[in-house]
Amino acid sequence: MDNRFQVRLNVCKSGKCANLGVADAPDYVWPVFRLGYPALGCGKCGSLPPLFNEAECNDWFAQLFARHLGLTGQGCPRGCMARLIRYGANRSGSPRLQCTACGLAFTPLRVNLAAQARREQLFAALAAGRHHADITAYRVLNQAAVWCESQFSDAEHPVSRIATQVFTLPFQGLRRQQRLYVIVSADADSGRVVQISTNYSPWPVGDSLRYPSDSQALAEPRDVPLVERVRATEQHFLARSQFDAIRYGSAALKRNDSGAMVRPVIALHGHFQRLKRRFAAVTDHYLAHECVLRGAAITAWAPEVKAGSTHLWFVVEEGESDAGALWHPGGSWRLGWWNNHWQLWENATARKMVARLTGNSQDYPPQRITLQSCAAFIQWLERHPWRRISGQLNARVISQQLACLAWCYNYVSVSL
């Protein structure tokens, strides 16, 4: 592969380090086994991020970009960080686009009227919690998912503040109740879902990317007071075999499935690399408290974080805040392996712990730092009739249906 198009994951991921996001820095040492796994040793800050097999990752990214950027017309199929321009039409009249960085001309998926009608039927079935399992239905779903993704953003709705949350859903694999890892990002201003991904990969992947399918979930702290929950989550990261080895439960695919389940860390890097190519101008990322989320976001936005134009935050919330309620500080703590500075904020009906992960901790209105846009979608999904059948569907179908459901959510539930 031409290495101009590679994503470099073996970089320092420390917010304040001069090597943040820098590939092949002269003071890197690898592999370093000091923490019990192969790591990249950063000579500047001493951090030890786990090493990736970059060649296998890039084979996977190439497929991801071709499908989710090229086919949807949202970016260069090779993953360039560049503008697209119109480039005429092909013989059958489909508009073509060209990447201004690499010059590649390509044709996004075109949707005709017949496909539109079938898509409407599909949405109606989803809304009623029905799924048709035949070849035509799968083709319609495939096209509808690409179309829905292409509608997640447009030039009229620029996105500058993004909230990202993760959750799991059951799917029908080798056994019942296997778990799929889902990542959802929403525009913190409009509430629209801007991207949803899972750790199901429809194409085969290299061994280093695979999720061990019979993994037991490491118990995560719940139902404990907020400060204790943050502390316990930090302990939970330390209990992993390496920081990015998320174990969220069993995820064995059926034997005839040609795809693969990837490690959540791979899905997260794919998610943020894709987001970066769609919304380069994001100023704020509000992240659920998961160290791998931070690592994937900061790797994708490293130049902007260094320049001070993009900031990352962890947020843990409980209760629902009334709009306009005043937040009062409830204390601050330095917590966990990374010694992040956490602040507690409270009002009459809600509390949250917030940690600024980049830049200086200056005054920033706490009401703005929230995962509420993601939480609203996840609650909507939990109550959706589709949830009655989703546990009987395979991971590929669920992944595509989630794109359709997110579009329906934006269309129906979020006022613009």
Which positions lie near Zn ion, rule CB under 5 A?
12, 14, 17, 19, 42, 44-45, 76, 78, 80, 99, 101-102
Closer to Zn ion by Cβ: residue 44 or 387: 44
Closer to Zn ion by Cβ: residue 19 or 143: 19
Closer to Zn ion by Cβ: residue 337 or 411: 337
Q: Which residue's entry shows tokens 């799924």?
A: 131
Q: Cβ of residue 38: shortest distance to Zn ion, in angstroms?
A: 17
- DSSP secondary structure string for all residues of 27-45: TEEEEE-TTSS-EEEETTT
403-413: burial string, b at 16+ Cβ within 10 Å, e else: bbbbbbbbeee
Closer to Zn ion by Cβ: residue 20 or 404: 20
Question: How long a stretch of residues is the chain?
Answer: 416
The residues, ordered by sequence, that sit 6+ positions from 225 with a Cβ below 8 Å of its Cβ are none
Closer to Zn ion by Cβ: residue 76 or 287: 76
Closer to Zn ion by Cβ: residue 8 or 247: 8
Q: Which residue's entry shows tokens 């079938």?
A: 118
Which pair of structure tokens corresponds to residue 142? 């495939």
Q: Cβ of residue 21: shortest distance to Zn ion, in angstroms?
A: 10
Q: Cβ of residue 287: shortest distance to Zn ion, in angstroms?
A: 20
Q: Cβ of residue 147: shortest distance to Zn ion, in angstroms?
A: 22
Q: Cβ of residue 275: shortest distance to Zn ion, in angstroms?
A: 17
Q: Cβ of residue 56: shortest distance to Zn ion, in angstroms?
A: 22
Collapse the DSSP code of 183 into the 3-class scheme (helix H, G, I; strand E, B; otherwise coil) and give the result.
strand
Closer to Zn ion by Cβ: residue 109 or 174: 109
Closer to Zn ion by Cβ: residue 11 or 260: 11
The residues, ordered by sequence, that sit 6+ positions from 39 with a Cβ below 8 Å of its Cβ are 30, 31, 32, 33, 48, 49, 50, 51, 242
Collapse the DSSP code of 56 into the 3-class scheme (helix H, G, I; strand E, B; otherwise coil) and give the result.
helix
Q: Cβ of residue 89: shortest distance to Zn ion, in angstroms?
A: 20
Closer to Zn ion by Cβ: residue 102 or 218: 102
The residues, ordered by sequence, that sit 6+ positions from 126 with a Cβ below 8 Å of its Cβ are 386, 401, 404, 405, 408
Give the burial class of 16: count Cβ atoms within 10 A of its Cβ; 0-12 exposed, 13-18 middle, 19 or more buried: exposed
**Phi then psi dihedrals of residue 188, to 5 deg:** -65, -20
- 288 closest CA partner among 334, 355, 221: 355
Q: Cβ of residue 103: shortest distance to Zn ion, in angstroms?
A: 7
CA distance 191 to 163: 9
Q: Cβ of residue 280: shortest distance to Zn ion, in angstroms?
A: 14
Give the burial class of 415: count Cβ atoms within 10 A of its Cβ; 0-12 exposed, 13-18 middle, 19 or more buried: exposed
